[in-house]
């Protein structure tokens, strides 16, 4: 399996045009996190380093072919004094498979607050559950061996009143990454598509559904390292008509909320 640095190392073909590598996978279509992460790298490559990415909004419009590379076309929408905007289209075989808008900010000073991180067991306590025979855990370890993913058991999740479907996952890149903030941000964009849609299935453990990411939004709130432990606190507030809304808050070990994610995914019954 390719390392995340290799997955995110795009080839610069022409001004505002980049190409991402195809990677080995057992998935029948390109992993959505790979497309989002590569698209964000392409956008970042066209922005002055004084600007940091603070949000992205993407739509998965067609399934990607995992055996083929993807070309990313960047449209430099705006470069302002405080904010910049880029639109990225991911293309395979002449057709768009993903579109994304990304916003960049020079950082300002203002009010500060955040929710508290929920009480959870430390990731080191979960090594036994990570090695369980659960088919989902086994598949995730085979598909993403470079990631250490440890689910919090359901009986150890702090249940918030009124929340119908919850899931919590500790994660990190196993090997140390370079001190490159852009790499850590784009790595988190890649990772943010992992496990999130699964939070919708927690309330329906016996139902067999077809899952796929439909759209994906992400906000980067504070600095972090993707090779340190991060908690992905996930909920699914609604599901219906073959779609599920999911959302996640990402905290570091010190309890700082470093990112937030909202995604809608396909969850229709298998026929």
Catalytic residue numbers read 193, 213, 263
Quick one: tokens of 51?
């600007």
Q: How far apart are CA 188 and CA 225, in angstroms?
A: 9
Q: How far apart are CA 222 and CA 256, in angstroms?
A: 8
Report residue 50 CA to chain centroid gap: 24
Q: How far apart are CA 75 and CA 239, in angstroms?
A: 34
Q: How far apart are CA 28 and CA 65, in angstroms?
A: 8
Cβ atoms of 60 and 216 within 8 Å: the answer is yes
């Amino acid at each position: 399996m390719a390392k995340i640095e290799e997955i995110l190392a795009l080839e610069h073909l022409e001004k505002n045009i980049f190409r991402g590598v195809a990677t080995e996978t057992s998935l029948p279509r390109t992993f959505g996190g790979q497309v989002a992460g590569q698209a964000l790298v392409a956008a970042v490559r066209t922005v002055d380093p004084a600007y940091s990415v603070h949000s992205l909004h993407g739509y998965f419009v067609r399934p990607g072919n995992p055996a083929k590379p993807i070309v990313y076309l960047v449209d430099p929408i705006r470069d302002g004094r405080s904010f910049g905007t880029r639109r990225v289209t991911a293309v395979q075989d002449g057709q768009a498979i993903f579109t994304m808008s990304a916003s960049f900010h020079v950082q300002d000073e203002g009010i500060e607050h955040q929710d508290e991180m929920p009480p959870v067991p430390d990731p080191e306590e979960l090594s036994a559950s990570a090695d369980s025979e659960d088919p989902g855990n086994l598949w995730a370890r085979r598909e993403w061996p470079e990631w250490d993913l440890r689910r919090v058991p359901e009986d150890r999740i702090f249940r918030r009143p009124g929340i119908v479907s919850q899931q919590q996952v500790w994660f990190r890149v196993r090997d140390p990454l370079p001190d490159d903030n852009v790499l850590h941000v784009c790595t988190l964009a890649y990772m943010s598509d992992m496990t999130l849609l699964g939070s919708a299935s927690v309330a329906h453990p016996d139902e067999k559904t077809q899952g796929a990411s439909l759209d994906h939004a992400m906000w980067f709130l504070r600095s972090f390292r993707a090779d340190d432990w991060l908690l992905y606190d996930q909920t699914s507030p609604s599901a219906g008509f073959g779609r599920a809304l999911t959302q996640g808050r990402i905290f570091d070990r010190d309890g700082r909320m470093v990112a937030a994610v909202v995604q809608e995914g396909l969850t229709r019954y298998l026929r």
